[in-house]
Structure 1
Amino acid sequence: MRTGGENSLNHVKASAAMTVLLLLLFLLLLVGASALGLTADTRDSADWKPTDDGRRWRSRTC
Structure 2
Amino acid sequence: MNEEHGMIRTNSAHGLRVGQTLDIIPNHICSTVNLHNEVYITNEEEGIRTLAVLARGKLA
Q: Where on the TM-score scale, by shorter chain, does this alignment land: which range?
A: under 0.3
Larger radius of gyration: 1
Larger helix share, 1 or 2: 1
Q: What TM-score comes out, normalization by structure 2 length? A: 0.22
Q: What TM-score comes out, normalization by structure 1 length? A: 0.22
Higher relative contact order (CA 8 A, sep 6+): 2
